[in-house]
Amino acid sequence: MPRGPKIVISGGGTGGHIFPAVSIAKEIIKKYPNALIQFIGANGRMEMERIPEAGFPIFGINIAGFQRKSLLKNIGLPAKLISSIFAVFKFLKKIRPDAVVGTGGYVSGPSLFVAQLLGIPTMIQEQNSLAGWTNRILSRKAHIICVAYPKMEKFFSEKKIYLTGNPVRENIAKIKSKGLDKQNSANAKILLGFNPELPLILILGGSQGAKAINTSVQNNLNLWENKKIQILWQCGAYYIDELSGEISNSKYLKIEPFIKNMDQAYTASDIVVSRAGAGTISEICCAGCAAILIPSPNVAEDHQTQNAQSLVDQKAAIFVDEKKSETDLGLIVSKLMNNPEKLISLRSNALNISKPNAAAEILNQLENHWLWKN
């Protein structure tokens, strides 16, 4: 049997960078069972836990992102960057991979930079509609750039771009085949402990949680419960202790720090209220969800607003500014829940623009550019 490819994948910091990386890794293993997959992550970040849980080894480096809110916290950043570059250099020299794939997050920077110095082919998987500066710089020597949105040639060389979509978790990619079946939704509600006859809102603040969304939900709990609207609320691990002390689960409400069975959660939901991270948006589309997006203003170059606007332009989501969410969210959810035609339209449009086979498309590009040799 010819040897499988040796691929290093680097990405992390948030679930939006980790889950696509894992999806790509699983797609490679599915086709090449004897492939060697190795991850590079940032010590102390969630990838150091999530990647091993998915069954893959990970090499940790001491790197941190730029802190926009407190410049003093960036004093040690140059030293961490230099030590990370040296650590990655030693690691890649030892592994000698066929290619290095970067799925985003600050850990991808040193990994792709060193790979390019060593002459190792690199692929960038750009998840957002507004490309970050690190990826723009590294794209100059990258061999392939897989993107999730059209019109990305304003950031990258058109010759390197392939519109593949963002990889999503396999169980979520399969939701599309279920269509808009109400029975599937009812069954998922039962599995999650909810009443199958009542509507359900799924609240997502990203893998880290979102204070503004949590506050907006708190302000509207009584309104929604009085209308017999059920709520599945992922509040984030950082906020769970505080919120659990103030709010109790009821027959209409379940609050969790992190939802692991996201396929069930998406299938059960009638409306999703969410941040507009690229990974979450891709999952929402694959699941065919009616979404209300509240972009985080605290991200690089406001890229979540660009992501959300892309879906709004395709009539696949509703946009709510974070500043207005505390006062407007309750009414918007209530009006949408009472408009079944709008719900169906949003779900259908989301499904139409989804790319559930993105991981396979990315692997196809790897194969097209680098044939694995004996």
CATH of the domain at 304: 3.40.50.2000
| Same domain, yes or no: 19 and 159 | yes
| Same domain, yes or no: 339 and 365 | no
pLDDT tens track for 27-54: 999 999 999 999 999 998 889 999 999 9
Structure pTM? 0.84
Of 54-58, 117-121, 303-307, 367-371, give the lowest mean pLDDT range: 367-371
Q: What is the mean pLDDT of the chain?
A: 89
**Of the candidates 92, 84, 107, which has an alpha carbon nearest to the alpha carbon of residue 17?**
107
Q: Flag whether 124 is in a domain.
A: yes
Q: Flag whether 1 is in a domain.
A: no
Q: Flag whether 291 is in a domain.
A: yes
Q: Which residues contact 291 (CB under 8 A, 6 or more apart)?
A: 271, 272, 273, 274, 281, 284, 311, 316, 317, 318, 346, 350
pLDDT at position 71: 52
Q: Flag whether 315 is in a domain.
A: yes
pLDDT at position 15: 74
Q: Is the confidence at residue 301, as pLDDT, over 90?
A: no
pLDDT tens track for 218-243: 999 999 999 999 999 999 888 888 88
| More reliable by pLDDT, 347 or 69 | 347
CB 161 within 8 A of CB 136: no
Q: Flag whether 26 is in a domain.
A: yes
| Same domain, yes or no: 128 and 266 | no
| Same domain, yes or no: 85 and 128 | yes
| Same domain, yes or no: 186 and 226 | yes
Q: Flag whether 335 is in a domain.
A: yes
Of 165-174, 194-203, 262-271, give the lowest mean pLDDT range: 165-174
User: What is the band of 69 on the pLDDT scale with cuts at 50, 70, 90?
Assistant: low
Q: Is 213 exposed, middle or buried (0-12, 13-18, 19+ CB in 10 A)?
A: buried
Q: What is the DSSP letter of 203?
A: E
SS3 at position 260: coil
pLDDT at position 374: 42
| Same domain, yes or no: 137 and 198 | no
Q: Flag whether 374 is in a domain.
A: no
Mean pLDDT of 171-198: 83
Q: What is the DSSP letter of 5?
A: P
pLDDT at position 72: 54
| Same domain, yes or no: 361 and 288 | no
| Same domain, yes or no: 140 and 178 | no
| Same domain, yes or no: 224 and 331 | yes
| Same domain, yes or no: 348 and 360 | no
pLDDT tens track for 330-339: 999 999 999 9
Mean pLDDT of 250-254: 88
| Same domain, yes or no: 292 and 344 | yes
| Same domain, yes or no: 213 and 330 | yes
Mean pLDDT of 236-261: 86
pLDDT at position 12: 85
pLDDT at position 174: 82
Count how many domains the chain has: 2
pLDDT tens track for 72-81: 565 656 777 8
Q: Flag whether 120 is in a domain.
A: yes
CB 330 within 8 A of CB 213: no
Q: Which domain holds residue 343?
A: 170-353
